[in-house]
Every structure is written in structure tokens, then in C-alpha cells.
């Protein structure tokens, strides 16, 4: 069949804000400013679009050209949101920097990304001062949420964001972009080596937002809609706040940008702005529920989408007691991020007990293909028991680790992206993560989840902290070893026999754990090494115990 | 910024059914069979996918190759739905034929499309018999919903669909497709000349389904969701049932396929299957509400999305009295079809009177850009008064009229598709269609809506039918003439003076119509010519009165 091809209507980021502008330019965006007194202010897409035009004109005057990287070091502010649109819409690349990284790492990634301009929140002016002079590509610094802006920082010309908006008022001539142009990038801090760069095209961002928005709207549990109010709690430097600022614009929901996250302020905003939906890591949920004034606030009906780490059942129960609906989501920086959300399909919702189902890693959102496979790439049985690696396809996975062909080849094999997450999957279509690939213990061709062993051992009354790692075994290849920090009164009393006896009684005899999972080695230690983000540094432990070999 | 390009994850039709299969393969699809007794049966995506594999193997055995056209002449059946997926997923082109066309037109379009195979409902076996031998490209006929299937029809080998499914059971090796491959085509029966061919790529179908699904889910009025039940009332030969079978799969809603539309059966299904959503033309809504047994059925809560023609206020009120929520949608065959839906944004929902707003032509759905422009292409004021033509951009507009470069050039100008619909638009972002481009009267550089004049004149007690057309005017270019079929008792009494007096009193004096709209000519006629689809043939009338010229 002969057909003509007409230049497609590209899926570019401007289409997202245009959707909001045509649906309701007056839709409210609430934001918090911390300079000149702590204030809640509000504007809308119409006003924002004027500011976006001015910002684009200002960046153009600062010599930002298509393909150039413009970085941000900012909290969850409306300034950050403006950058989310302006920079990609100019054809430049938005580079959101994780403000929690060390100045050494930030210097590394800014040089790696070759950032030309950086937009900096007042809180990070000190930080940028220590790195600016070391970033060869850097030409300008723009400061937000600040009363005072020096002329230069580290020798780099510095501007006040609001001055630029005033000076460059007017319409910008937006270029026509290709959907496969790069729109944004961010770095993922692995547990090994320096952060790895990932990047995303306009098409990826638009399709990710469409799919997340559709799943969240159609889900009877989540019911995100045009009449919802979204509080942006996921840091905007974490994979574009999980895409939720884009999702909110596509749906034209009301939005709240709380600036730096302060539990009391979040609680206040949830009540005063009648927030219906938010998303975040378990820690933030914990902070909201345990804040000394938490009980003063009515949190009933709030939907909390948990991501970034598994949601502990105890915390979920605590939230549910307050009337919060919790649902788990899952994804990686490399995957834009969302892959799955644990909103069960209708047939399971009709059952009474969905409390555990919403804590699963979840079901795929539209357009995501996911498999759990063994080391040969064959899907493992959907029995909720057999572990395998999660591999995925979706229209929004980074094409590579930027300037790192080796790590790229390792993750992208046979047209599937390998997540490195070890999971089981169920007949009902959901998956549940068990461990990271590097941490799982490969014993006699079978896998043992270090995370589940740690969970079990941590319930022993004498255990303060525990890490389970693989040690070499002549017979099995690898076997589990538990490194335990005992509680003071148990010092010297934590033995292999005691731990095995305890696990046998509480888990194995009840069918909660196979007997062959029982550790072959228990070592009492004074403390466990931590990574920069506060997780146990298992790589360090493996290195430390690499010479141990058992039968 | 140097980046690598990884073969994209194409937006192909298989992704839609894969989304449903991974979300809930057991999701119910209810369908009606009319042979061997009138029966309601039910299956699910899992069973359907097995049948789709068998159908693909059967079509392959019948020599269907990528790019080949496979036509359908069918009601709203699960067989039709299976064709919706199977044919595009094979790389072939689904060609849905409007069963209401004359056999002459069907022969024309089958030859024009070069259909190789046709899937035919029993009800159209007679019809296909009269055209089959004249369609040179036709190699096979497959019959559904029939007890009896002859060996040949019009000399063409004929098969029973269910026999094929049984014979070709097994997994088909699906090809990997490009999203810009053509997936489907259908013909639009214009009021002039033969039907024009439009076609759609996989990408267009997927993006259209995503956007419609998202808008309908996020809209507080419509709230289509995973827990909804969709009754497919829009004929599946009308632009793929407005995309709703694809939308339903993406959302994994329960679906009901009623076969041939019979009001009593639809009412029965709405109640027994607890249908929450349906869509259709005003005529079907009218049939549902005026069926002799209609009042026996509880229709409260049903959402009815009206399209195909404006929804008269009287009919909307009738529906609302029964507890039905009505919302208007708008689109063209050329545009996949959906462009706008009249679900008002939240700020307007908070007002009390949205009854008129939901009868507007609507607000754009995500990714659609729409303007109302004057003949020079400049946007007209958003004042709800000034008329202009609706022009649109969206990722799902047909690239051309198939094999018709002239009509193509006329519709596609300056990267905008010209709909030929004359509308006003409002400050609130909505549009309201006034007339077709060809029917609007251009008087002294201003436009007069023939439709609104007809509406007004039709309220005169002596008027049975009316058509308003343009006649030539030396002074104004064109002026309105009303051709009126009077009621028997008013024969010979309908004068220009009477009509002008009436309009002056009832409309002009109340500010409902400008005085310069009053017709300059009233002609009493015996009858009005109709088109094949039952609309007044204004083209014929214009031809008939082309020699009239007034001052």
C-alpha cells in the first residue's frame, strides 16, 4: 500500500504545557517561597507560560543553544517547574542535579555533562561556590529564592532569576523540535563507582507522562483526576519527580510545590490546600506520620504512592490507621522511572484483603513489557517463589549510560533492559522484588534473597543490625553469611546455632522459609559500613570477606 | 550532545492488547451471537488472544501479506474486535466498510482499497454476493455469525470464521512492525462525489487511544476507569467505533459487544451487564429513550458520549430526566476521530449550570491543537460570536485522502488540517460548531449559519421542513434563502413577510439573532432532496437555485 508520509506531530514537551493551557490556563499552581518571609503564593499556567517565555529569552541571551546542558540545583519550587518546560522546549537539555551528592560528585557530573548554565536555589550557593571554578563548561549561574545575589560565584557571572524574568519579558520564538531530541538528563548514584549519566528524549517524557497519568486516572484505588490536587514531595532532582509535574499538567490537576521538604509545612499544605494525592519514599511518609504535631492534621483520603524503596508493612499499617491510602510504585532512574504500580486489577479489588497486594512491587503500567527471567533469559514460573531478574521494555528507557559503553552493554542485552533487581512474579501478573542482583546469594543454582534473610534475622531479640552476604562455598558456589551487630546485652552471645535455631523455629517450621536458606556462617561485628546515602555498603563487606571459603 | 539512538519501542497496535493481557487477561468481554438462537456469551483477553493467533495463521494461509487490505462488513461483534487487532498486528491493513453504503459505493471502495479478503457478517452475505465478482483484488470471503456458509460467493472461495479458528489453532509468529506502518483505513462518505479514503498508522491509533482514554478517565464528569463497563454502540465500521474498543483494552474495562443494534437488546444489556459508559449518535440515544419498553429500564448513572451530530437540547433534557449523564464529543473520520469532548474544566464544573456547557462541541483532548480562523487563517476572537473554520493539528490525523492529491491539498494547508466545520469559540476554551463550510452563507464579509437559521425557522408553527442555502446577491455576495415544506394547513401561506415577522418577534427582538441574518427569499417547496444517509442534500439545492440573483 503506497502512502505518503507527512511530518509527524512530534511528541515534544511543549505539548504537555499546551494541553494544560488549552484545557484551563487558570488552573492553580501553589508554591512556597522562603525568602522575604515564608510565604505561600499561587499562580497559574497562563502566568507561568509568560515567565517561561522570558526565561527562554534570558537563557538565549546567556548563549544557551540547542543541545546545551542547563543544570538545576533546587528544591521543589515553581522555579524548578519552569525549568522543566523552558529548557527542553528551547532544544536544550535539562540536567537536574541531586543536591544530596558530595561536592566532589557534583563537580564530576557537571564536568561529565558539560553544564553551561546552572540554576541554583539559595540553599546551594555555598555548594556551587566550591565547584563552580572547577567546571570548565560553566558560563553562568542563576539564583532563585534569594534576596541577595553576588555578581560572581567562583568567578562565574551570576544572575538573579527574577531580574532576568523582568528584563527579558516578551515572546520567545520557540524552535520546532524533533521528538527524538534529548530533553533531559540525570545521574544515578550507583553503589559502585561514580554516578552514571542517563538521558531522555522528548518522546520518552511525553509517553511516560501519558502512561502514568492514564494508569493513575483509570485505577479505582488511585483515581487521579482533573479535580485532584497533587503535592509534589518527590524531590525534583530525582528523575523529574517521577514525572509527576508533567503528569499533573497533562491532567490539569491543581499542584502544590512545597520548596524544601519540612514535615510540618507538608502537613499544613495537605490540609490547607486539600491535597488528594502525593508520592514519595517511605522516609517522608514516616516523617509525616511521626511528626510531633502529626495527629493535629486530618490525613483521611490522601493517596500516597510509595516509591524509591519497599514500603514496610508496619509503616503502611500506620498510614492506613490515619486513613491514608497507600500504593507502591516501582522504577529506576534509567526507566524515567515508572514501570509498575501496585494497584491491583478489578478482579482482586473485589476480594477483601488488598492490604498486602498494594505493597507488591506492582503491575505494569500501559506500554511496559516486563519479564522475570533466569540467568539464561528464560521466564521463571509465575509461582511467587522462583526468583529471577526483572527485565523490561518500554518507550521511556534511557538508550545508554552517557559516555559509558561498557555499562551500557551490560544493561542492554537482546533488546531488553536488565534492571539488576531480583524478583518473583505471580499468576495474578504482579511482581515482588526480593533483592538486588549483586546481593542475591547463588547457592547450588538456586537463589537466596539476602533481603528476606536480613528481615527474618532482624526479628531476633538480640540483633541490632544485620547484613547477609554471599561467601564462597566449595560445594554450593555461594552460601549466606550473616554479619550481626548485637544489642549490648547480647554481646558475645549471638552464635550460628542460636540464629539457626531461631530461624528454624520462627520461619522454617512454619513454611515461611526453606531450610537450605539457613546461613552457614554468623559473624558478630562492631558496626556495618554505610554508603553515602545511608544504605549498608555490601560491596565493602563482600570485599572484606572475599577470602573466606566454606564447604 | 552526542547520543546513541536505540531502536525505539514502537507504538504499535499489539501494545494495546498486551497492556490488557498483562493487566488482567481474565477481564470480561461480553458479546451477543445471533445464530443458533439469540445468545449472550462471554470470554476474555486470554481466550481472545488465542483466537487472534489462529485467525492470523488462517489469514496467512489465505495469502494475506504485510500491506494487504483485509476488509470487514460486520456489526459490533467480538469477531469484528478480533479483526481490529489481528489484521494490523500482522502488518496488514484493516479496512472497515460502512454497511449502510449502496452496493455500488461498496464495490467502488473495495476496488479503490484493493481488498484481498473480506470478513462478512451473515446479514451482509447478500450484499457481498452482488459485488464480490466485481472486486478484482478479492481472493477470499470469511463469514461470521452464520450457520450456513456456501463454498463460494460470487465465484470467490468462502470460509466459515469458526472453522478457520479451529483449523489454524496455534501460535502465530507476529512480525516486528514499525509504528509508521499503515494499520487501518476507512472511507468517509462526503456529501459530494464518491467516498474518500483515509488511513491511519499504528502510531496514530495508539496515541489516539491513549489521549481519549486519559481525558475520559481524568474528567470528573466521565470518570471512565478500569472498573467501568463499556457498551459499544458506535458502529465498528465508523472510524473504528471512535477508537473505543482500543480505549477499553488500554484501560482494561469490561466490554459489551451487542452485535446488530436493537434498542430493546441494548436496554436489556445496559441493565443486566451494569453498563456504566456508552457512546453514539443522537439517533441511538433517541431510540433508547423512546422505545416502548424504555421506562422499564433503570438508566441512572449511565454516561452517554454523544457524537456524529450535535445533540439537540430537548433530547439531552429527556436523557437527563432518566438520570443519564450526557457529554458531547466531536471529530471527523479524517481525525481518528476524536478532537474535542465537552467535559468542562473544573473551574466551570463548580458553577451550577453545566447543562449547556456539555452540549458544546467541546474542549480539546490532550495533544490536540485547535484554532478557529477566518479565511485568511487568522484566529477569530474568542467571543462566542465570530465564526471561523476549525483547523487542527494532532498526532492522529490521516496524512492524505488515499489516491486523491487534489482533495488532500485542499484539506492540508500550512501544516493544519482544515475540517470544513464553521464554529465560534469562547474565552473558556471551548468551541461550538455553527455550520459546514460549504453551507455557511457569506454575506458582506460576514458569515451566517444556515443551521442556526434553520433551527429558528423550524420553530414556526407552519413549517414542516426547512433548508437554508446561499443565493447570489449583487450587493452582499450571498444572502440566505429559505426553502420551506409547509404543514398541509399552511400550504400557500408561508410568505417571506411571515417568516421575517416571526423571526423578528421571536429571535431578533430578543437579541438571539442579528437582524441582517433575516432571509431575503422564502420559497415554498413540495419536498427537499435527501442524501443517501438521510441528510438534506444542500448541494443539489444550491445547484437548483444557482441562477437566482438578488440585490
Dump pLDDT digits (tens) for B134-157. 999 999 999 999 999 999 999 999
What span, in angstroms and rounded, lies between the C-alpha atoms of A64 and A106?
A: 21
User: A95: which strand partners?
Assistant: A71, A185
CA-based nearest distance A258→chain B, Å: 23
Q: Which of A103-112, A430-439, B54-63 has the highest mean pLDDT?
A: B54-63
Q: Specify the pairing of strand A388-393 against strand A416-425.
A: antiparallel
What is residue B533's predicted lDDT score, i.e. its pLDDT?
A: 60
Backbone angles phi, psi at A523, to 5 degrees: -125, 125
Chain A residues whose CB is inside 8 A of the B210 CB are 210-211, 214, 366
Conformational region of residue A301, where left means phi above 0, alpha means psi within -120 to 50, and beta covers everything else: left
* B257 Cβ neighbours under 8 A, 6+ residues apart: B29, B30, B31, B32, B76, B77, B78, B80, B81, B232
SS3 (DSSP) at B206: helix
What is residue B192's predicted lDDT score, i.e. its pLDDT?
A: 59
User: B416: which strand partners?
Assistant: B413
* Closest Cβ–Cβ partner in B18, B226, B366 for A19: B366
CA distances from B56 to A103, A365, B175, B178 (A): 59, 27, 11, 18
Chain B residues whose CB is inside 8 A of the A28 CB are none
Closest CA to B316 of B352, B349, B364, B354: B354
Chain A residues whose CB is inside 8 A of the B93 CB are 1
What is residue A436's predicted lDDT score, i.e. its pLDDT?
A: 87
* Closest Cβ–Cβ partner in B3, B254, B369 for A199: B3
Compute the mean pLDDT over every residue in chain A, rounded to the nearest whole number: 94
What span, in angstroms and rounded, lies between the C-alpha atoms of A98 and A112?
A: 14
Displacement of CA B36 from its chain's centroid (Å): 32
CA-based nearest distance B50→chain A, Å: 18
> A188, A191, A386, A531: which is the annotated catalytic residue?
A188
Cell, residue B273: 451487564
Cell, residue A179: 521528538
Q: Where are the beta strands (DSSP E) in B8-155?
A: 28-33, 39-44, 69-73, 93-96, 115-121, 140-144, 152-153
| Interior/surface letters A58-71, b for 16+ CB within 10 angstroms, e for the rest | bbeebebeeebbbb
Judged against a pLDDT cut of 90, whether residue A244 lies above it is answered with: yes
Residue of B nearest to A399 (CA): B6
What is residue B532's predicted lDDT score, i.e. its pLDDT?
A: 63
What span, in angstroms and rounded, lies between the C-alpha atoms of A93 and A107?
A: 18
pLDDT in single tens digits along all 551 residues of chain B: 777 777 678 999 999 999 999 999 999 999 999 998 899 999 999 999 999 999 999 999 999 999 999 999 999 999 999 999 999 999 999 999 999 888 998 999 999 999 999 999 999 999 999 999 999 999 999 999 999 999 999 999 999 999 999 999 999 999 999 999 999 999 987 655 788 999 999 999 999 999 999 999 999 999 999 999 999 999 999 999 999 999 999 999 999 999 999 999 999 999 999 999 999 998 899 999 999 999 999 999 999 999 988 888 889 999 999 999 999 999 999 999 999 999 999 999 988 688 999 999 999 999 999 999 999 999 999 999 999 999 999 999 999 999 999 999 999 998 899 999 999 999 999 999 999 888 999 998 888 999 889 989 989 999 988 999 999 999 999 999 999 999 999 999 999 999 999 999 999 998 888 899 999 999 999 999 887 666 788 889 999 999 999 98
CATH number among 3.40.50.720, 3.40.50.150, 2.40.30.10, 3.30.300.30, domain B438-550: 3.30.300.30
Chain B residues whose CB is inside 8 A of the A15 CB are 366-367
Q: Express as a percent the part of chain A with pLDDT over 90.
A: 84
> Cβ distance B225 to B254 under 8 Å?
no
**How do the domains of chain A map onto residue ranges?**
14-425, 440-550
SS3 (DSSP) at A99: coil
| Interface contact flag, B1 A252, Cβ < 8 Å | no
Read off the pLDDT of residues A447-501 as tens digits, 9 standing for 90 and up.
899 988 998 998 999 998 899 999 999 999 999 999 999 999 999 999 999 999 9
Q: Which CATH topology does A14-425 take?
A: Rossmann fold (3.40.50)
User: B153: which strand partners?
Assistant: B156
What span, in angstroms and rounded, lies between the C-alpha atoms of B22 and A382?
A: 13
> Cβ distance B119 to B75 under 8 Å?
no
Conformational region of residue A384, where left means phi above 0, alpha means psi within -120 to 50, and beta covers everything else: left
What is residue A73's predicted lDDT score, i.e. its pLDDT?
A: 98
- Enclosing H/E stretch for B160: strand B156-160
Helix axes A244-251, A202-218, angle to 10 degrees: 70
Q: State whether the Cα torsion B136-B142-B143-B144 is positive or negative.
A: negative
> Cβ distance A161 to A79 under 8 Å?
yes
Closest CA to A243 of A142, A360, A141, A365: A365
- Enclosing H/E stretch for A47: helix A45-61
User: A329: which strand partners?
Assistant: A341
Chain A interface disruption, residue of B2, B210, B226, B429, most A CBs within 10 A: B226
- Residues of B recognised as catalytic: 188, 334, 442, 447
What span, in angstroms and rounded, lies between the C-alpha atoms of A90 and A57?
A: 10
SS3 (DSSP) at A313: helix
What is residue B534's predicted lDDT score, i.e. its pLDDT?
A: 67
Closest CA to B104 of B74, B134, B125: B134
> Cβ distance A416 to A393 under 8 Å?
yes
What is residue A455's predicted lDDT score, i.e. its pLDDT?
A: 87
Residue of B nearest to A370 (CA): B22
Read off the pLDDT of residues A108-129 as tens digits, 9 standing for 90 and up.
999 999 999 999 999 999 999 9
Judged against a pLDDT cut of 60, whether residue A191 lies above it is answered with: no
Conformational region of residue A4, where left means phi above 0, alpha means psi within -120 to 50, and beta covers everything else: beta
Q: State whether the Cα torsion B297-B302-B305-B306 is positive or negative.
A: positive
| Interface contact flag, A5 B399, Cβ < 8 Å | yes
Which whole number is the average pLDDT over A123-144? Answer: 97
Q: Which CATH topology does A440-550 take?
A: GMP Synthetase; Chain A, domain 3 (3.30.300)
Q: How many CB atoms lie within 10 A of CB A156?
A: 17
DSSP per-residue letters across A485-521: EE-GGGTTT--HHHHHHHHIIIIITTTSS-GGGS-SE
Closest CA to A345 of A233, A461, A248, A427: A427
What is residue B446's predicted lDDT score, i.e. its pLDDT?
A: 84
In chain A, what is the straight-line distance between the N-terminal and C-terminal CA atoms, in Å? 67
What is residue B27's predicted lDDT score, i.e. its pLDDT?
A: 98
Local structure of residue B335 (DSSP, 8 states): G
* B359 Cβ neighbours under 8 A, 6+ residues apart: B310, B311, B313, B316, B326, B328, B342
CB pairs under 8 A between A and B: 171
* Closest Cβ–Cβ partner in A6, A213, A227 for B399: A6
* A372 Cβ neighbours under 8 A, 6+ residues apart: A379, A380, A387, A388, A389, A390, A391, A423, A424, A425, A431
Amino acid at each position: 500500500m503506497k502512502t505518503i508520509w507527512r511530518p509527524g506531530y512530534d511528541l515534544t514537551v511543549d505539548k504537555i504545557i499546551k494541553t494544560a493551557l488549552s484545557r484551563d490556563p487558570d488552573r492553580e499552581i501553589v508554591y512556597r517561597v522562603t525568602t522575604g518571609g515564608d510565604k505561600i503564593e499561587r499562580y497559574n499556567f497562563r502566568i507561568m507560560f509568560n515567565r517561561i517565555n522570558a526565561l527562554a529569552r534570558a537563557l538565549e541571551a546567556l548563549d544557551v543553544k540547542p543541545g546545551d546542558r542547563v543544570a538545576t540545583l533546587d528544591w521543589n519550587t515553581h522555579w524548578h517547574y519552569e525549568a522543566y518546560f523552558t529548557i527542553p522546549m528551547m532544544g536544550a537539555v535539562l540536567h537536574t542535579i541531586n543536591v544530596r551528592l558530595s561536592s566532589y560528585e557534583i563537580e564530576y557530573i557537571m564536568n561529565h555533562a558539560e553544564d553551561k548554565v546552572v540554576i541554583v536555589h539559595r540553599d546551594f550557593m555555598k555548594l556551587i561556590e566550591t565547584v563552580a571554578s572547577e567546571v570548565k563548561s560553566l558560563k553562568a549561574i542563576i539564583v532563585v529564592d534569594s534576596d541577595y545575589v553576588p555578581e560572581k560565584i567562583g568567578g562565574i557571572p551570576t544572575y538573579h532569576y527574577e531580574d532576568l524574568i523582568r528584563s527579558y519579558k516578551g515572546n520567545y520564538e520557540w524552535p520546532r523540535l524533533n521528538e527524538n531530541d534529548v530533553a533531559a538528563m540525570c545521574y544515578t548514584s550507583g553503589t559502585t563507582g561514580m554516578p552514571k549519566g542517563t538521558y531522555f528524549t522528548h518522546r520518552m517524557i511525553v509517553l511516560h507522562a501519558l502512561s502514568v497519568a492514564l494508569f493513575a486516572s483509570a485505577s479505582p484505588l488511585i483515581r487521579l483526576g482533573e479535580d485532584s490536587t497533587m503535592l509534589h514531595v518527590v524531590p525534583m532532582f530525582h528523575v523529574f519527580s517521577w514525572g509527576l509535574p508533567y503528569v499533573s499538567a497533562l491532567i490539569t490537576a491543581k499542584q502544590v510545590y512545597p520548596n524544601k521538604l519540612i514535615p510540618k509545612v507538608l502537613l499544613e499544605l495537605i490540609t490547607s490546600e486539600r491535597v488528594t494525592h502525593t508520592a514519595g519514599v517511605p522516609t517522608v511518609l514516616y516523617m509525616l506520620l511521626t511528626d510531633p504535631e502529626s495527629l493535629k492534621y486530618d490525613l483521611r483520603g490522601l493517596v500516597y504512592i510509595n516509591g524509591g524503596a519497599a514500603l514496610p508493612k508496619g509503616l503502611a499499617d500506620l498510614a492506613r490507621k490515619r486513613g491514608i491510602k497507600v500504593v507502591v510504585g516501582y522504577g529506576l532512574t534509567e526507566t524515567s522511572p515508572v514501570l509498575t504500580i501496585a494497584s491491583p486489577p478489578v478482579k482482586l479489588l473485589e476480594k477483601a484483603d488488598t492490604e498486602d497486594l498494594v505493597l507488591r512491587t506492582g503491575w505494569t503500567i500501559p506500554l511496559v513489557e516486563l519479564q522475570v527471567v533466569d540467568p539464561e533469559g528464560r521466564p521463571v514460573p509465575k509461582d511467587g517463589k522462583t526468583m529471577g531478574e526483572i527485565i523490561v521494555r518500554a518507550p521511556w528507557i534511557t538508550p545508554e549510560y552517557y559516555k559509558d559503553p561498557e555499562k551500557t552493554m551490560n544493561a542492554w542485552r537482546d533488546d531488553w533492559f536488565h534492571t539488576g533487581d531480583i524478583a518473583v512474579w505471580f499468576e495474578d501478573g504482579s511482581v515482588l522484588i526480593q533483592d538486588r542482583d549483586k546481593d542475591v546469594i547463588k547457592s547450588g543454582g538456586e537463589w537466596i534473597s539476602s533481603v528476606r534473610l536480613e528481615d527474618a534475622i532482624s526479628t531476633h531479640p538480640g540483633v541490632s543490625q544485620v547484613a547477609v552476604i554471599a561467601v564462597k562455598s566449595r560445594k554450593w558456589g555461594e552460601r549466606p553469611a550473616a554479619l550481626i551487630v548485637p544489642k549490648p546485652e547480647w554481646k558475645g552471645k549471638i552464635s550460628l546455632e542460636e540464629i539457626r535455631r531461631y530461624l528454624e523455629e520462627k520461619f522454617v517450621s512454619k513454611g515461611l522459609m526453606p531450610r537450605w536458606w539457613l546461613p552457614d556462617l554468623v559473624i558478630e561485628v562492631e558496626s556495618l559500613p554505610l554508603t553515602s546515602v545511608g544504605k549498608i555498603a555490601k560491596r565493602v563487606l563482600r570485599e572484606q570477606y572475599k577470602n573466606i571459603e566454606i564447604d
